[in-house]
Amino acid sequence: MEFRQLRYFLAVAEHLHFTEAASHLGIAQPPLSQQILKLEREIGTPLFIRHPRRVELTEAGRLFRESARRIVEDAQQAFAEAQNAGRGVTGRLSLGFAGSTVFHPAVAATMQSYRHAFERVSISCEESNSSLLLDKVAERHLDAALVRMPLNCRDLVVEPLIEEDMLAVLPASHRLNRRRRIALADLAGDPFILFPRPIGPDLYDSIIGACREAGFAPSIGMESPQISSAANLVAAGFGVAVVPASIRQIQVESVSYHELRGNPLSTGIALIHRPREKSPTVLNFVKMLRKQRLAARTG
């Protein structure tokens, strides 16, 4: 039995007329009649009673019509689902986030745009530090991840999203808290709050390197579990910190944020994924991220 024979049978069963059914299908009547006869021979019983100007379904034909409809509907649904999956309209996306990336508006805008365009894609999210996310993507535990740059991404593909300046975070009691802009050298005597180096070794080293270029080696007074928690430790009086500008969205009392003079530090947010990626859901997310990057630059 061929799938087209089911379609032909259902057309005749609907129109109860071979000529009208053939016109509806866009084929000639003789091939249609031949396929129905072939189907009846294969089943072993007539499906239609032929009259001079019309046909009617036999009892076997009426029963077969219900089953044929289900088969054709299921096949059409399977066809549509396969097409949707191939276009990335449906499917799954496992996405990682470095904790400090979620505070940037460009990340939220990218996620919102993707969810709006591909609402039938199931997204699972995992928060971790950038170094661990790198390994998870490389080892196929995650499809892609939004990470904090700079980062040695080895053989993974890097799709930059946004660049942002780093800001100094000072406690309310700090002698410089009324200045809008300060220099790193002004903080030479203060204890620094830094995240553990394994969380982001390249960003950690860039902060230490900037301090040394400013003429001092920072004294590490406290390690923050994550970049995003540094402001809370500043408020608690453990020292000063240097954080991405988007972190100031965290509402922390008794701290102030300050631009850095001279050669300001910067950091980026980027999407990492495996090379030669074939997953439509991942590729669609990459396209959405590129649109957001362009919008951020032109906006």
The pLDDT profile of the chain, 299 residues, written as one tens digit per residue, is 788 899 999 999 999 999 999 999 999 999 999 999 999 999 999 999 999 889 999 999 999 999 999 988 888 887 777 776 776 778 899 999 998 888 888 999 999 999 999 988 999 999 998 989 999 999 999 999 999 988 888 889 999 999 999 999 999 899 998 999 999 999 999 999 998 888 888 889 999 999 999 999 999 988 888 888 888 999 999 999 999 999 888 778 889 999 999 877 899 999 999 999 999 999 999 999 999 888 877 76
Q: 0.95 exceeded by the pTM?
A: no
**Domain chopping of the chain, boundaries:** 3-87, 91-161+268-298, 164-266
What pLDDT shows up at residue 299? 62
Beta-bridge mates of residue 144: 95, 273
Each residue's pLDDT tens digit, 146-164? 999 888 888 899 999 999 9
- Specify the 3-state DSSP secondary structure of 175: coil
Count of CB atoms situated within 10 Å of the CB of 133: 26
Give the single-character DSSP code of 260: E
Residue with tokens 């409809």: 69
CA dihedral 231, 148, 88, 288 (to 10 degrees): 80
Predicted pLDDT of residue 89: 76
H-helix segments, 150-243:
201-213, 230-235
- 28-42: pLDDT as tens digits: 999 999 999 999 999
Instruction: Give which of 238, 237, 257 is closest to 247, Cα–Cα.
Output: 257
Common-topology check for domains 3-87 and 164-266: no
If one counts every other C-beta atom within 10 angstroms of the C-beta of residue 173, the result is: 8
Task: Report the CATH number of the 91-161+268-298 domain.
Answer: 3.40.190.10
Question: What are the pLDDT digits (tens) for 108-148?
Answer: 999 999 999 998 899 999 999 898 999 999 999 999 999 99
Architecture of domain 164-266: 3-Layer(aba) Sandwich (3.40)
Residue-wise DSSP of 75-121: HHHHHHHHHHHHHTSSEEEEEEEEGGGGGSHHHHHHHHHHHHH-TTE
Q: Please give the Cα distance from 199 to 218 (Å, whole number).
A: 18
3-state helix, strand, coil in the chain (%, to 5): 50, 25, 25
Nearest alpha-carbon partner for 285 in 150, 149, 82, 137: 137
Q: What is the CATH topology of the domain spanning 3-87?
A: Arc Repressor Mutant, subunit A (1.10.10)
Let me know if 32 is exposed, middle or buried by CB neighbors in 10 A (0-12, 13-18, 19+).
Answer: buried
Residue 196: predicted pLDDT? 87
Identify the pLDDT of residue 38. Answer: 94
Helix (H, G, I), strand (E, B) or coil at 218: coil
